[in-house]
Amino acid sequence: MSLESKKTEWGIVGMGVMGTNLSRNFASHGYSLAIYNRYVKGKEEQIALKQKKKFPELKNALAFESLANFVSSIKRPRKIIILITAGSALKLFLKKLVPLLSKGDIIIDGGNSHYKETEKVNSQLKKKDIYFLGMGISGGDKGALKGPSLMIGGDKEAYKIVAKDLEKASAKGVKGKPCCSYLGDRGAGHFVKIIHNGIEYAEMQLIAEIFSLLMETLEGEINSIQKELESWQKSSSESYLLGITSEILKYEENNDFFINKITDSASTKGTGAWASESGISMGYPNSLMVSALHARFTSNMKTKRENLSKIITLKKGDATISIKKLKIIYDMCRLINHHQGFEMIKNSNQAHGWNIKPDLIANLWSEGCIIKSRLMKTLEKEFKIKASILEMNVFKKNLSESQTNWNSMLNYAAARLIPIPCISSSWNFLISATQEKSIGNLIQAQRDYFGAHGIIPLNNKEVKIINGPWRSKN
């Protein structure tokens, strides 16, 4: 037996929760592994070895805290998945790793890197004949262990080498199709992961707004709210996020619900802001993602909120709404959120020369990931028929049911002083996107008046830009 044949099939870097669970996943599928974690005296010592001893799946894995020995233990072409913090930490690690690699080796970045940074690294490593794949991973620690959703971009030649293994380790979606796919060159995989997280932000905010509305309608009875959401979970509204919300509301501590013991300040990471920025950069209205992000910013203003609540007194009005209407509007808002996210992916095809198909993405997101839902499985089928969610039967059905209920929703929230930024954004997008005539003419006239930006007259077949008559006076 040759020395090379004794080496491992895969190397995984970073033995945090995600890295450890993905390692266990790979090992349970029969792959031989080398696992590595950095050495930091007094803080991170023998981490890989400790994880190997802790989990039976890793008993045959080779554990390292010497990077050179780790690299040497992997068969060529080496296949290495990196699961460490994106940004500067990844850059520093790559500086140490790359000199140890050989032509044809494959690095897979499984962190939440910005897709533009992935593109830079991909370009740099191509010059060294080293493959680089950006792999968006969704599903949290449980997904990493049981089967995540994997969104992959970069060198197609490299993907062909690793595809079988990654597909085997991934979740299985519609009709058993792997929730793993090559999406395009450069940063395509990480871009799609950014959009996934933008949809996730809005989905979480929508549920939180519904919770707030139910707290008002059901007079703070969390038991009743929990049971209501649990019933929604058994309907077409089913989703992973709705399911865990229902579970969260069951927990009690010292005769009080644990949810009441959590500070009302929600953290953010880079992907939420990146998703919002992506819509802005491509000129597409991703208003629900932006609203969800800003809602978190506002939640973080806790001291200011507390102070302002003592200075400014707003009076509640009288209004009522049925729980049935809340559910109808919730379902409609989710469709609009998903529409905005998928349209961003469609626009990215034009901007970056990708060919990311929406039905493929819907399958990737049907299992294994944080935004998996019954709706996603429906979209996977419908995208084969219609290119836009707003044209689908599922949207038309929800529209006919929801249209008469929007006034009740908006009036109730306004009267009872309940902020609903994502629900309001859904309504504003719907009515704005479906109006034949917008107020854009006035905006453009204002721009021309103060800055000579020009206007396009109606029925101008040549699309000739002119200035308005006010320019002669300026």
pTM, rounded to two decimals: 0.95
Cβ-contact 194, 275 below 8 angstroms: yes
User: How does pLDDT run across 383-430, given as a tens digit for each residue?
Assistant: 999 999 999 999 999 999 998 899 999 999 999 999 999 999 999 999
Q: Which residue among 65, 200, 209, 367 is the active-site one?
A: 200
Instruction: Calculate the CA dihedral of residues 68, 91, 53, 146 and round it to 10 degrees.
Output: -130
Fold of 4-186: Rossmann fold (3.40.50)
Is 227 a catalytic site residue? no
- Domain boundaries in the chain? 4-186, 194-433, 440-473
Cβ-contact 370, 241 below 8 angstroms: yes
Q: What is the pLDDT of residue 133?
A: 98
Chosen CATH of 194-433 out of 2.115.10.20, 3.90.79.10, 1.10.1040.10, 3.50.50.60: 1.10.1040.10
Q: How crowded is residue 423: how many other Cβ atoms within 10 Å of its Cβ?
A: 27
Q: What is the pLDDT of residue 270?
A: 87
How many helices (DSSP H) and strands (DSSP E) are in the chain? 20, 10
Cα 373-264-326 angle, rounded to 5 deg: 45
Q: What is the pLDDT of residue 95?
A: 97
Q: Which residue among 52, 79, 177, 193 is the active-site one?
A: 193
Is 44 a catalytic site residue? no
Q: Name every residue whose Cβ is closer than 8 Å to that of residue 26 and which is 6 or more positions away in sequence.
A: 10, 12, 33, 165, 169
* Helix (H) or strand (E) segment spanning residue 108: strand 106-109
160-163's contacts with Cβ under 8 Å and 24+ in sequence apart are 161/77, 161/79, 161/106, 162/79, 162/106, 162/108, 162/133
Q: Does the domain at residues 440-473 carry the CATH identifier 1.20.5?
A: yes
Q: What is the pLDDT of residue 5?
A: 62
Residues of the chain with pLDDT under 50: 1-3
C-alpha closest to that of 23 among 110, 148, 31 = 31
Q: What are the CA-CA distances from residue 375 to residues 228, 332, 411, 460 (Å)?
A: 19, 11, 28, 43
Cβ-contact 134, 189 below 8 angstroms: yes
Cβ-contact 118, 186 below 8 angstroms: yes
Q: What are the CA-CA distances from residue 64 to residues 45, 51, 183, 355, 382 (Å)?
A: 10, 11, 33, 40, 48
Q: Name every residue whose Cβ is closer than 8 Å to that of residue 412 and which is 6 or more positions away in sequence.
A: 213, 319, 320, 321, 418
Q: What is the pLDDT of residue 471?
A: 82
Place of tokens 């996730």: 200
Tokens of 422: 């994502």
Q: How crowded is residue 69: how many other Cβ atoms within 10 Å of its Cβ?
A: 13
DSSP of 180-230 = EEEEESTTHHHHHHHHHHHHHHHHHHHHHHHHHHHHHHTTT-HHHHHHHHH
